[in-house]
Structure 1
Amino acid sequence: MTTTAGSSQFSNLEDISLDPHYALKEAFAVDTNSDKVILGSGIYRDGNSKPWVLPSIEATSARYEYLPISGYEAFIKKARDLLFGSVGPRADYFASLQTISGTGANSLGARFLSNSLKPSAVWLSNPSWVNHANIWGLAGVNVKYYPYWDAERQALDFESLVQKLETEAVPGDVIVLHTCAHNPTGVDPTKEQWTRIADICENLGLFPFFDSAYQGFASGDLDEDAWALRHFVSRGTLELAAAQSFSKNMGLYGERVGALHLLARSPEAAAKAKGNLSRLQRGQISQPPRRGAHLATAILADQVLFQKWLNDLHEMSSRIRSMRQALYEELVSLGTPGKWEHIVSQIGMFSYTGLTPPQVGAIQSESHVYILKSGRISVAGINLANVKHVASGIDKAVRKYPA
């Protein structure tokens, strides 16, 4: 291609708008109102809206040197056992690598499965984490959606989910499942519903890809939050993958600590998968960073630090549940039109409030409370000092723009 003076070879590129989460942060940053509140970021805050360094993290130390391509082996094993439970003699059936947090794990897994399985589509929940479609699209996989959120009932649309998959998914397709604390809705399937989803994966030959970003953060119980994934594994018939992040549950946001795990049907297949995954990782980042992996391993390997961490998880999950309750009670006290029980029945950091785009716009412009247009809020941004202000903003907006 030839170019003329003053022209660019990149002029024909599509304009890509800023990720809505980061656009919201920028709008919040320039707002000078003293009462402003941001409920968009998926970052845990304490009761004073300050970032919280977990006491268990403060008690650790780290060293610096290059890691192998697959990452810090001690971390990889501890992370795998935390998510899957003790795998015992089945360890050789796993191909596991340390990644650049959950995003890196999702991306590496998508590229690997795109190359190896060549699925006709990947199935994402509607809605899903905003980056899922971006990651799989960049991996060259056709993105399709299964129903998830029933806006009218403000609950899981499970029967539509089942019907969509049973009638349109084909063998070899990948399905992305949120292990717990579904992002963005905060609504998880029941154990009975998870069992039925596993049946569908078995019967249709779908490849389950779990995204685990909130283990221990959702309910405060590490094992309970991993139940769905472990149920799929316990069947002994499914190959699957899991992206694991420690950003939320250890507060290691900037350290980018994560892992990708692939469970194969044989040690030979797992070894081949790890070789191919390592090749992809080498071409992308060479080797993952050390410090965050050492911090996480120190907690997972030391009984005293591990107990501190369990206490931290309990504190975080408990505060979020209490803020859900506080917001709900304020809305009820104000007599805000609509039903708000879903705020307390949902789980984890996020709540799909059911607020409409006009209502969200009014909340931001009139009350300086920053919420994504979808109505999703980060409950971690609410505290006792601002919950009345947040509820008042919601109340005014709902009355101004009835749904």
Structure 2
Amino acid sequence: MAPAIRAGEGREPQPQDPSAGRRLSTLVRHLLPSSPRRTSAAEAAPTTLESSPTMASQVSSVFAGIAQAPEDPILGVTVAYNKDPNPAKINLGVGAYRTEEGKPLVLNVVRRAEQLLINDPSRVKEYLPIVGLAEFNKLSAKLIFGADSPAIKENRVVTVQCLSGTGSLRVGGEFLARHYHERTICIPATTWGNHPKVFGLAGLTVRSYRYYDPATRGLDFKGLVEDLSSAPVGSIVLLHACAHNPTGVDPTIDQWEQIRQLMRSKSMLPFFDSAYQGFASGSLDKDAESVRMFVADGGELLMAQSYAKNMGLYGERVGALSVVCGSADVAVRVESQLKLVIRPMYSSPPLHGPSIVATILKDSEMYNEWTVELKAMADRIISMRQQLFDALKSRGTPGDWSHILKQIGMFTFTGLSSEQVAFMRQEYHIYMTSDGRISMAGLSTKTVPILADAIHAAVTQLK
């Protein structure tokens, strides 16, 4: 017999409609195969589909043995935050910009661009090509590499639209797993938690190199150089273009140059992750300096871009993957293979988000408005750093907290232990990742003193 249909849980009982029941019964009879045998009066009665909790509970599932997966260590912070009924709770785990009032921000220039798109009667909702919106791809390459980039002028850059930064990394990872001779990718030992998962599932062998020094709360440059020096020749190396996540620790320009020379001497392939261009220092060009150094030497590299942070397009999933190739001929072939990676993965990317980006980047007035809003966001984060440092200093909180000012970008790696983080969640209802990373964009002038009190208590009571 057909399985019973369960009544919707949590809904008020609805009065039964006899005519609806008759229509459903008629539909069922039409769908059942016809039979030449005679039917009894009981069999000829209208079919009635009823809820049967007992029968439903007896239905087995082929997925019954699946274990409950743990929450994502980053996104799970917000899940826990949302379950907390305390009205004074503070969420410093989310990697998204918040206003001084703690609200999500949609940039004014983004609103303007969307309105232009909505009011354009010529716009349609057709599929994009596999590689995405051509105008968006061209403008994205210019934004990160520079409009005067020799690689762009020589047609050595191929750019494909992807699903934000994560999608760009995954497409690049799968492309390399298929076509690059060395399957090893070296990633910072302290990095965004999704990096090892993305590249591991793409088919690459993940290896780490030292990056963050807990003792100094700064860059372990000596360890970084030693680990890259001992890595296999030709290894892929993941590099954060700016505003390293989660530490906020970036190499200096001189250190970047040493990294470049070392990698080129070992024929290593750079794979940049640029999630915060313009969001770190407030300058789009300054935040792209590390990338442009590697392009200027004529070598090859991969670049994953995201517009989640710097345009606030988190939910639009707007990103791009660029491959800087040795020649224009190679770039054409690389693009053809990237299409073969993308087609069975998601076929073609969304239209709305990249249209917003292209509308802003191609219009000088809107572009300038964007840079002003972008710098305002970056400046507010810098201000939050100064306020938090001053608050801890005024409280006489034990330890050196100067790293709060030295680190850059959305996040601060506080150096707090997991026990101290748990204490702050329990006693102060302040939420952050267990490694002590806090989103400076989630702070405000009102909440800085509360956070400073919590850190002071955690440090003095739990040593």
Contact 1:117 1:172 in 2 (8 A): no
**CA distances 1:162-196 after superposition (whole Å, capped 9, x unpaired):** 011112x1122110000000000001000010001
- 2:202 aligns with 139
Aligned residue pairs, count: 395
CA distance 1:358–1:82, shift in 2 (3 Å): same
1:48 aligns with 2:101: yes
- 1:232 aligns with 294
CA distance 1:271–1:342, shift in 2 (3 Å): same
* Corresponding residue SS for 1:218: coil
- 2:44 aligns with none
- Correspondence for 2:90 among 37, 48, 73: 37
1:178 aligns with 2:240: yes
- 2:27 aligns with none
**CA distances 1:291-322 after superposition (whole Å, capped 9, x unpaired):** 11010011100111011101011100000000
- 1:27 aligns with 80
Contact 2:177 2:183 in 1 (8 A): no
What residue identity is the alignment partner of 1:142?
T
- 1:149 aligns with 212
Q: Which structure 2 segments of 5+ residues have no match?
A: 1-58, 118-122
- 1:106 aligns with 169
- 2:403 aligns with 342
Contact 1:120 1:172 in 2 (8 A): no
Distance in 2 separating the partners of 1:284 and 1:232: 30
Distance in 2 separating the partners of 1:189 and 1:367: 34
1:273 aligns with 2:334: yes
What residue identity is the alignment partner of 1:295?
I
* Corresponding residue SS for 2:104: coil
Using CA pairs under 8 Å that are at least 6 residues apart, name the structure with larger relative contact order, 1 or 2.
Answer: 1
**CA distances 1:138-168 after superposition (whole Å, capped 9, x unpaired):** 012111110011001111000110011112x
Contact 1:220 1:313 in 2 (8 A): yes
What residue identity is the alignment partner of 1:8?
V
What residue identity is the alignment partner of 1:46?
T
* Identical-residue share of aligned pairs (%): 42
- Correspondence for 1:119 among 182, 194, 218: 182
What residue identity is the alignment partner of 1:298?
T
Question: How much does 1:385 deviate?
Answer: 1.2
State TM-score, norm by structure 2: 0.83
Distance in 2 separating the partners of 1:298 and 1:312: 16
* Corresponding residue SS for 1:66: coil
- 2:132 aligns with 71
Taking the TM superposition and a 5 Å limit, the aligned residue runs for 1:318-337 are 318-337=379-398
CA distance 1:163–1:68, shift in 2 (3 Å): same
**CA distances 1:215-243 after superposition (whole Å, capped 9, x unpaired):** 0010010100000000001111x210000
Question: How much does 1:41 deviate?
Answer: 0.8
Taking the TM superposition and a 5 Å limit, the aligned residue runs for 1:2-401 are 6=60, 8=62, 11=65, 16-61=69-114, 62=117, 63=123, 64-86=125-147, 87=149, 90-167=153-230, 169-236=231-298, 238-401=299-462
Distance in 2 separating the partners of 1:375 and 1:235: 38
What residue identity is the alignment partner of 1:288?
P
Question: How much does 1:17 deviate?
Answer: 2.1
Distance in 2 separating the partners of 1:16 and 1:80: 38
Contact 1:170 1:205 in 2 (8 A): no
Distance in 2 separating the partners of 1:202 and 1:10: 51
**CA distances 1:249-270 after superposition (whole Å, capped 9, x unpaired):** 0000011111000011011111
Distance in 1 separating the partners of 2:73 and 2:225: 30
